[in-house]
Chains A and B, each alone.
Chain A
Amino acid sequence: MPKRPPITNRVRELREAHDQMSQSALAKAIGVTRQTVIAIEQGKYSPSLESAFRIAREFGVGLEDVFGWDGDESTKTGT
Chain B
Amino acid sequence: MTTQFRADVASGIFAILIGIFHLGAYLGLWWRAPESGTDFFWRIGTSVVLMVIVAAIIGIVSGVINRDALENDEREDDARHRSMRNLCFIYAGALAIILMEAFGTMTPMMLAHGVVAAFIVGEIVRLGSMGYYLARGV
Contact = CB atoms under 8 A, between A and B. Distances in A.
A44 interface: yes
Given A33-B70, A33-B76, A45 B137 contact: yes
B88 to A, nearest CB: 21
Contact of A32 (B68, B75, B138): B75
Interface string B79-119: 00000000000000000000000000000000000000000
Contacts of A51: 74
Interface residues of B, number: 12
Nearest to B137: A44
Among B68, B136, B137, the one with the most A-chain Cβ atoms within 10 Å of its Cβ is B137
Interface band, chain A: 10 to 19
B5 to A, nearest CB: 9
Nearest to A44: B137
Nearest to A5: B137
Among A36, A48, A51, the one with the most B-chain Cβ atoms within 10 Å of its Cβ is A36
Overall SS of chain A's interface: loop
Among B1, B73, B76, the one with the most A-chain Cβ atoms within 10 Å of its Cβ is B73
A16 B59 CA distance: 34
A4 to B, nearest CB: 8
Interface string A1-43: 0100000000000000000000000001001110110010010
B134 A32 contact: no
Interface in A29-72: 31-33, 35-36, 39, 42, 44-45, 47-48, 51
